[in-house]
Every structure is written in C-alpha cells, then in structure tokens.
C-alpha cells in the first residue's frame, strides 16, 4: 500500500496508528511510543505524524524519530513526514492507562496521578517508600526504595 494522495483519510490514519502501536520506547521497551504519548497524533492535511519529546534533552528522541520513520516506511507511508512539536508540552498525564499498567508490570512505578504524591512499590505494593536519587537511569526516572520489602525501584517522575 502506497499513499500517493496529498491528504490522508480516516483509513490511512487508522493504519498509521496501528503501525506505530508496536514501536517500542528505546529506553523502556515494554511500552510503546503510543503508550507514552510521544506520538501526538496524525495530521491529515498536510499529512504528518506528530511526535513530541518527553524531555528536551532526552537522547532517545532521535532514535524514536528514526523508529517511527522506519515503521511508517514499512507500512507504506514513506511519503508521510514525521514532525516534532513542542506545544502543548508533554506531561506524564499523556501516558495511557495501558502504558501505566505495563510500566508497573515491568517493575517501574508509574507516575502518580496529578495532585497525589503517594508512590507505591511495584514489587509489594507498599506505600512506605522513599526517594534515593532524584535521577535514575534515564532523565524521566528517579531512583526509589521500598522501606518494607527493601527493593530498590525506578519511578517514572511526574512531569
């Protein structure tokens, strides 16, 4: 399937979103770029896939753009450009419920809902936890530790 039209229709939009559903985040491969809200959507006219960075300096941004590009090419949408947009700025509220569930299952505490500062241990569920380091293995995560089961864990920072 090759899209030659200048404007995308609903079917093409659906096909694009389906093609991107399996594009993993390069740092946390259990979640997709759709789960994280990095893909902001499809613009039909002029056609483009809109993506947004989580943090301005996130080194994964370039890899994500390339992966999205590759997935589009694979699905026959090589003529559709990938555009990066900054507004409105990405927040952790853009992470889908499915994304949150996948993070938790992977051992990463998902960001707390806005207005809550309760952090539950992804291993034992205890809320008796404390921050060890404000930054973890990636810009979007902090390092925490459970005071009950003593396991250290990554927490997706509220942003």
143 binds other proteins (CB under 8 A): yes
66 binds other proteins (CB under 8 A): no
With vertex at residue 102, the alpha carbon angle to CA 157 and CA 147, rounded to the nearest 5 degrees, is: 55
Question: Is residue 69 a contact residue for other proteins (CB under 8 A)?
Answer: no
| Beta carbon of residue 30, minimum distance to other proteins (angstroms, whole number) | 21
Query: What are the helix and strand counts (H, E) for the chain?
Result: 3, 7
DSSP state of 93: G
How many residues comprise the chain? 159
Instruction: Report, in Å, the least distance between residue 27 CB and other proteins.
Output: 12
Nearest CA to 64 out of 11, 19, 114, 20 is that of: 20
Is 159 a residue that touches other proteins (CB under 8 A)? yes
Q: Is 26 in the site for other proteins (CB under 8 A)?
A: no
Among 9, 14, 21, 56, binds other proteins (CB under 8 A): 56
Give the range of 24-32, 69-77, 137-145, 146-154 binding other proteins by CB under 8 A.
137-145
The reply to whether 115 sits near other proteins by the rule CB under 8 A is no
C-alpha pair distances (Å), 139 with each of 80, 81, 150: 30, 27, 24
Q: Tokens 């990463």 — which residue? A: 108
Judged by CB under 8 A, the stretch of 26-34, 89-97, 102-110, 111-119 that binds other proteins is 89-97
């Amino acid at each position: 399937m090759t899209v030659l039209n200048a404007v995308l229709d609903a079917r093409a939009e659906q096909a694009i979103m389906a093609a991107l559903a399996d594009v993993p985040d390069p740092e946390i491969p259990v979640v997709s770029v759709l789960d994280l809200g990095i893909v902001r959507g499809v613009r039909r006219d002029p056609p483009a896939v809109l993506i947004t960075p989580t943090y301005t300096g996130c080194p994964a941004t370039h890899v994500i753009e390339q992966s999205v590009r590759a997935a589009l090419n694979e699905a026959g949408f090589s003529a559709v450009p990938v555009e990066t947009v900054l507004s409105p700025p990405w927040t952790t509220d853009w992470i889908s419920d499915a994304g949150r569930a996948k993070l938790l299952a992977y051992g990463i505490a998902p960001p707390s809902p806005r207005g809550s500062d309760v952090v539950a241990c992804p291993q034992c569920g205890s809320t008796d936890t404390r921050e060890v380091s404000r930054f973890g293995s990636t810009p979007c995560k902090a390092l925490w530790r459970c005071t009950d089961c003593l396991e250290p864990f990554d927490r997706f920072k509220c942003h």
